[in-house]
């Protein structure tokens, strides 16, 4: 009896050694098995549908990432182009400033040489006339 206590679909046979299925229990067992099969089938279908949705979302994400990557590449290219343009503009300004500084250097050197030559002429005149100044001083002192 202990062997069949957990089985609700069979009973012990009275006329021979073995088990005999219970009539209504076999129908119940078929219904239970059919429910299990249908339930498993529904789970399989739900799993397939879930995987399909996941694949679609994944493919949409891949497409988005590709488009995003393309947009990022375009933005990076544009940013590099703008940096290059700005760098060239600054380099042009520096070159122009170098030319301006060179012109200023030449002009200031020229003016400095003019001032120095005028000062030298004045100093030379003072040296030439220094003996006259000494003579004037001597006459003024009365010596």
pLDDT tens, residue by residue, 50-85: 999 998 888 888 888 888 888 888 999 999 999 999
pTM of the model: 0.34
Q: Where are the domains of the chain?
A: 10-141
pLDDT tens, residue by residue, 121-137: 998 888 888 888 888 88
For the residues of 63-97, what is the DSSP string, one character each? HHHHHHHHHHHHHHHHHHHHHHHHHHHHHHHHHHH
Question: Alpha-carbon distance 104 to 96, whole Å?
Answer: 12
């Amino acid at each position: 009896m202990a062997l069949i206590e957990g089985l609700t679909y069979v009973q012990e046979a009275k006329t021979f050694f073995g088990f005999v299925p219970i009539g209504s229990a076999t129908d119940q067992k078929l219904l239970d098995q059919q429910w299990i099969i249908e339930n498993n089938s529904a789970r399989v279908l739900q799993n397939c549908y879930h995987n399909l949705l996941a694949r679609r979302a994944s493919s949409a994400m891949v497409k988005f990432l590709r488009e995003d990557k393309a947009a990022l590449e375009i933005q990076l290219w544009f940013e590099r182009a703008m940096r290059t343009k700005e760098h060239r503009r600054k380099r042009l300004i520096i070159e122009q400033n170098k030319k301006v500084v060179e012109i200023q250097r030449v002009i200031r050197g020229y003016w400095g040489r003019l001032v120095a030559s005028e000062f030298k002429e004045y100093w030379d005149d003072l040296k030439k006339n220094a003996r006259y100044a000494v003579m004037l001083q001597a006459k003024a002192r009365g010596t």
